[in-house]
Protein backbone atom coordinates (compact mmCIF):
# COMPACT_ATOMS: atom_id res chain seq x y z
CA UNK A 1 0.00 0.00 0.00
CA UNK A 2 1.14 3.51 -0.72
CA UNK A 3 0.38 6.47 1.46
CA UNK A 4 0.75 10.15 0.95
CA UNK A 5 2.23 11.51 4.09
CA UNK A 6 2.28 15.25 4.81
CA UNK A 7 3.65 17.14 7.74
CA UNK A 8 4.83 20.60 8.62
CA UNK A 9 8.56 20.96 8.48
CA UNK A 10 10.42 23.15 10.92
CA UNK A 11 9.75 26.18 8.70
CA UNK A 12 6.00 25.57 8.87
CA UNK A 13 5.75 24.47 5.24
CA UNK A 14 3.86 21.35 4.27
CA UNK A 15 6.13 18.58 3.11
CA UNK A 16 4.53 15.72 1.21
CA UNK A 17 6.04 12.42 0.26
CA UNK A 18 4.82 9.05 -0.88
CA UNK A 19 5.67 6.17 1.42
CA UNK A 20 5.00 2.48 1.06
CA UNK A 21 3.58 0.43 3.89
CA UNK A 22 3.14 -3.35 4.04
CA UNK A 23 -0.32 -4.54 3.08
CA UNK A 24 -2.57 -5.64 5.91
CA UNK A 25 -0.68 -3.58 8.44
CA UNK A 26 -2.32 -0.41 9.68
CA UNK A 27 -0.36 2.65 8.80
CA UNK A 28 1.32 4.00 11.88
CA UNK A 29 3.96 6.54 12.60
CA UNK A 30 5.42 8.01 15.67
CA UNK A 31 4.08 11.54 15.63
CA UNK A 32 7.04 12.81 17.60
CA UNK A 33 9.45 14.73 15.46
CA UNK A 34 6.93 15.49 12.70
CA UNK A 35 5.75 18.83 14.00
CA UNK A 36 2.22 19.94 14.75
CA UNK A 37 0.58 18.83 11.52
CA UNK A 38 0.40 15.34 10.06
CA UNK A 39 -1.90 14.13 7.31
CA UNK A 40 -2.00 10.65 5.82
CA UNK A 41 -4.11 9.34 2.98
CA UNK A 42 -4.01 6.32 0.74
CA UNK A 43 -2.11 7.23 -2.37
CA UNK A 44 -2.60 5.91 -5.87
CA UNK A 45 -0.65 6.81 -8.94
CA UNK A 46 -2.83 8.13 -11.70
CA UNK A 47 -2.46 6.47 -15.04
CA UNK A 48 -4.13 7.97 -18.11
CA UNK A 49 -4.76 5.80 -21.11
CA UNK A 50 -7.82 5.10 -23.23
CA UNK A 51 -7.30 1.42 -24.07
CA UNK A 52 -4.21 -0.25 -22.59
CA UNK A 53 -4.23 -1.28 -18.93
CA UNK A 54 -1.17 -0.20 -16.95
CA UNK A 55 1.73 -2.57 -16.33
CA UNK A 56 4.82 -2.30 -14.17
CA UNK A 57 8.43 -2.92 -15.13
CA UNK A 58 11.79 -2.62 -13.42
CA UNK A 59 14.34 -1.07 -15.70
CA UNK A 60 17.79 0.08 -14.66
CA UNK A 61 16.99 -0.25 -10.96
CA UNK A 62 13.89 1.90 -11.26
CA UNK A 63 10.23 1.01 -11.45
CA UNK A 64 7.99 2.42 -14.14
CA UNK A 65 4.37 2.33 -15.18
CA UNK A 66 4.18 1.28 -18.81
CA UNK A 67 3.45 2.35 -21.46
CA UNK A 68 3.54 5.90 -20.04
CA UNK A 69 7.03 5.59 -18.49
CA UNK A 70 5.97 7.19 -15.26
CA UNK A 71 8.58 6.55 -12.59
CA UNK A 72 7.09 5.21 -9.37
CA UNK A 73 8.28 3.96 -5.99
CA UNK A 74 10.01 0.55 -6.17
CA UNK A 75 7.29 -0.96 -3.94
CA UNK A 76 4.48 0.04 -6.28
CA UNK A 77 2.01 -2.68 -7.21
CA UNK A 78 -0.76 -2.64 -9.80
CA UNK A 79 -3.27 -2.07 -7.00
CA UNK A 80 -1.52 1.22 -6.29
CA UNK A 81 -2.41 2.54 -9.72
CA UNK A 82 -5.66 4.25 -10.55
CA UNK A 83 -6.50 3.83 -14.20
CA UNK A 84 -8.18 6.95 -15.53
CA UNK A 85 -9.74 6.52 -18.92
CA UNK A 86 -10.33 9.75 -20.78
CA UNK A 87 -13.90 10.10 -21.95
CA UNK A 88 -14.19 9.41 -25.65
CA UNK A 89 -15.02 12.51 -27.64
CA UNK A 90 -18.67 12.74 -28.52
CA UNK A 91 -19.22 13.54 -32.14
CA UNK A 92 -21.15 16.75 -32.36
CA UNK A 93 -23.88 16.68 -34.94
CA UNK A 94 -24.54 19.77 -37.08
CA UNK A 95 -27.47 21.92 -36.05
CA UNK A 96 -29.89 22.51 -38.91
CA UNK A 97 -32.57 25.15 -39.10
CA UNK A 98 -35.13 25.50 -41.85
CA UNK A 99 -36.72 28.89 -42.32
CA UNK A 100 -39.27 30.14 -44.82
CA UNK A 101 -38.32 32.91 -47.19
CA UNK A 102 -40.02 36.18 -46.34
CA UNK A 103 -40.52 37.11 -50.00
CA UNK A 104 -41.64 33.70 -51.24
CA UNK A 105 -43.50 31.51 -48.70
CA UNK A 106 -42.98 28.44 -50.87
CA UNK A 107 -39.23 28.75 -50.54
CA UNK A 108 -37.29 27.52 -47.55
CA UNK A 109 -33.68 28.09 -46.58
CA UNK A 110 -31.47 25.73 -44.77
CA UNK A 111 -29.01 27.12 -42.22
CA UNK A 112 -26.43 24.79 -40.75
CA UNK A 113 -24.01 25.16 -37.86
CA UNK A 114 -21.08 22.73 -37.66
CA UNK A 115 -20.00 22.62 -33.99
CA UNK A 116 -16.74 20.81 -34.71
CA UNK A 117 -15.40 23.50 -37.04
CA UNK A 118 -17.48 26.37 -35.69
CA UNK A 119 -18.62 27.21 -39.23
CA UNK A 120 -22.01 28.29 -40.46
CA UNK A 121 -23.62 27.72 -43.80
CA UNK A 122 -26.81 28.96 -45.37
CA UNK A 123 -28.21 28.51 -48.85
CA UNK A 124 -30.24 31.70 -49.01
CA UNK A 125 -29.25 34.50 -51.42
CA UNK A 126 -28.74 36.90 -48.50
CA UNK A 127 -25.52 35.15 -47.62
CA UNK A 128 -23.95 36.43 -50.84
CA UNK A 129 -25.26 39.93 -50.36
CA UNK A 130 -24.00 40.30 -46.80
CA UNK A 131 -20.56 41.90 -46.67
CA UNK A 132 -19.42 39.57 -43.88
CA UNK A 133 -20.95 36.44 -45.48
CA UNK A 134 -23.50 36.24 -42.69
CA UNK A 135 -27.15 36.39 -43.65
CA UNK A 136 -29.87 37.01 -41.08
CA UNK A 137 -30.37 33.23 -40.69
CA UNK A 138 -26.74 32.70 -39.76
CA UNK A 139 -26.83 35.65 -37.39
CA UNK A 140 -29.96 34.28 -35.71
CA UNK A 141 -28.49 30.80 -35.41
CA UNK A 142 -25.24 32.22 -34.11
CA UNK A 143 -27.11 33.84 -31.24
CA UNK A 144 -28.80 30.54 -30.41
CA UNK A 145 -25.73 28.33 -30.31
CA UNK A 146 -23.26 30.68 -28.64
Binding site for Zn ion (CB under 5 A): 122, 124, 126, 135, 137
Closest CA to 45 of 15, 2, 6: 2
3-state helix, strand, coil in the chain (%, to 5): 10, 40, 50
Which of 44, 139 has the CB closer to Zn ion?
139
Which of 72, 137 has the CB closer to Zn ion?
137
Which of 54, 127 has the CB closer to Zn ion?
127
Q: How far is the CB of 124 from Zn ion (least distance, A)?
A: 3
Q: What is the DSSP string of 71-110?
A: EE-TT--GGGEEEEPPPPPPPPPPEEEEEE-SS-TT-EEE
Q: How far is the CB of 131 from Zn ion (least distance, A)?
A: 14
Q: How far is the CB of 117 from Zn ion (least distance, A)?
A: 18
Amino acid sequence: MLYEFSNHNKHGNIRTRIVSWPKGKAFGINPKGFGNFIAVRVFKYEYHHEINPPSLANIGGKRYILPTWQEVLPETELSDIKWIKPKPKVKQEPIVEISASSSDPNKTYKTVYYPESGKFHCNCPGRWRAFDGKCKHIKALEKKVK
